[in-house]
Amino acid sequence: MGVPHRLDRPVSGVALFAKTSKALERLNEAFRTGDVHKTYWALTCAAPQPEQGELTDMLLRNEKQNKSYICKSGNPAAKQARLRYSTIRRFDRYTLVEVELLTGRHHQIRCQLSGIGCPIKGDLKYGAPRSNRDGGISLHARSIVFIHPTRREPVTVVAPVAWPPFIQE
């Protein structure tokens, strides 16, 4: 048994668990090779411009601060982070953005969206102006798609969103 995929503590949504060591090994390999597709929904404090695109940045992790930073590509400790995003809907004060992870770096979505001026609602660490009432951030692991480790069939898991708290406040 084990956890091939994890979520940051303030994030809601899909989490994946393996029931056997063989399944864990196969799922870990699928994550390493990019055969697992993860989609997130983020409620951002600003609308991204353009409304859709791909972000590629070099991220440097600061373990003491438990935070990642966008940095220049010359830093040998930095790792490339890539994601695609698209605007789903604009609200009065927030924008719902769908994010497809192309790499899986520490705080990647939080850091990269903040880097384009769109911090996630409630995410004080990455530039949101105020916290959410529950202390979480408005980032939701919406879905995960993978090949079942033993049956070899496609599996799609979608996590419902607790509307309206995801948007209101």
pLDDT in tens, 71-113: 987 889 999 999 999 999 999 899 999 999 999 899 999 999 9
Q: Could you tell me the two tokens for 72?
A: 């220049």
For the domain covering 12-54+83-158, report its CATH number: 3.30.2350.10
Tens-digit pLDDT profile for residues 113-150 = 999 999 999 999 999 999 998 888 999 999 999 999 98
Q: Whose structure tokens read 């496609």?
A: 154
Q: Select from 16, 4, 28, 10 the least CA-distant residue to 110.
A: 10
Q: Select from 78, 27, 31 the least CA-distant residue to 57.
A: 78
pTM comes to 0.90
Q: What is the DSSP letter of 135?
A: S
Catalytic residue among 8, 57, 123, 134: 8
Task: Output the pLDDT for position 47.
Answer: 97
**What are the CA-CA distances from residue 35 to residues 15, 32, 103, 157 (Å)?**
16, 8, 11, 15
Task: Output the pLDDT for position 6.
Answer: 67
pLDDT mean over 3-15: 78
pLDDT mean over 27-37: 89
Which residue ranges make up each domain of the chain? Answer: 12-54+83-158
Task: Output the pLDDT for position 5.
Answer: 65
Whether 8 is a known active-site residue: answer yes
